[in-house]
Amino acid sequence: MSRWLKLSLVALGAGALLSACGDDGESPSESTTTPARAEAQIQGMNSSPLSGTATFTQTGDEVTLTLTLEGCPAGEHSAHLHANKSCDENGDAAGGHWIPNGEGLGSFTCDASGQGTQTITRPTDVWTIGDAGATDVTQFSIVVHAAADPDAGGRIGCGLINLE
C-alpha cells in the first residue's frame, strides 16, 4: 500500500473519530433539567366533596409528592399509596396500602376552609416515576382517608397516578 494511501486512511479515520465526539448542541444540564412527573386527580369517594391533586416529581435521586386538597373535612387525615391502580367501588378496589419501605406518608391537617396540603420526599430506591419497575408510582393509586394514621379510617378520596 502506498504511503499516501496509508496517510489518507489514517486521516480519514481520525476525522471520523473526532466527529463522533463533537458537540450535539445539547449542554449536559439540558438533559437532566426536566424532571419526571406523574399526577393523580383526586375525586371524592363515599359522598365526600373532596377533590385535589397528588403530584409526583422525580429530580435526581429523589421523588417528591405534593398533595393539595380542597373540600376536605376539617381535622387530621392521612393518605396512602394503594396496591391497585383502581378507584372503583368507592375506592375499595384500590386494595391495601403499598408501603415499600415500611414508612407511611404520615398525617396532615385540613383547615376549616377545607384546604389541606402535604409534601413528602422519598429516595428513588423507594419511589420512581415511569420506569415500570417495582417502585414506579404510576402503577398505583393514592387514597385519602377520613382519619389520621395509624387508624386511617374510611376512604374519602382516590386518584389514579398517571405519567405526565
Confidence (pLDDT) at 34: 77
Q: Is the pLDDT of residue 16 over 90?
A: no
Average pLDDT over residues 64-89: 98
With respect to residue 88, please indicate whether it lies within any of the assigned structural domains. yes
Rounded to the nearest 10°, the torsion over CA 118, 83, 157, 57 is 40
Confidence (pLDDT) at 17: 45
Confidence (pLDDT) at 35: 85
With respect to residue 45, please indicate whether it lies within any of the assigned structural domains. yes
Say how many domains are in the chain.
1
Average pLDDT over residues 92-114: 95
Q: Do the strands 155-160 and 36-44 form a parallel or antiparallel pair, or are they unpaired?
A: antiparallel
Give which of 145, 139, 153 is closest to 69, Cα–Cα: 145
With respect to residue 61, please indicate whether it lies within any of the assigned structural domains. yes
CATH number at residue 114: 2.60.40.200
Give which of 81, 68, 96 is closest to 128, Cα–Cα: 81
With respect to residue 11, please indicate whether it lies within any of the assigned structural domains. no
C-alpha 80/C-alpha 14 separation (Å) is 57
Domain range for 89: 36-163
Per the structure block, which three cell numbers stand in for 20?
A: 463522533
DSSP string, the chain: --HHHHHHHHHHHHHHHHHHTS--S--TTTTTSS-EEEEEEEEE-TT---EEEEEEEEETTEEEEEEEEESPPSEEEEEEEESSS--TGGGGGG-SB--TTS----EEEE-TTS-EEEEEEEETTT-BSSS-STTBGGGSEEEEESS-SSS--SEEEEEE-EE-
Per the structure block, which three cell numbers stand in for 13?
A: 479515520
With respect to residue 31, please indicate whether it lies within any of the assigned structural domains. no
With respect to residue 49, please indicate whether it lies within any of the assigned structural domains. yes
With respect to residue 4, please indicate whether it lies within any of the assigned structural domains. no
With respect to residue 28, please indicate whether it lies within any of the assigned structural domains. no
Summarised one tens digit per residue, pLDDT across range 18-72 is 455 555 554 444 445 578 999 999 999 999 999 999 999 999 999 999 999 999 9
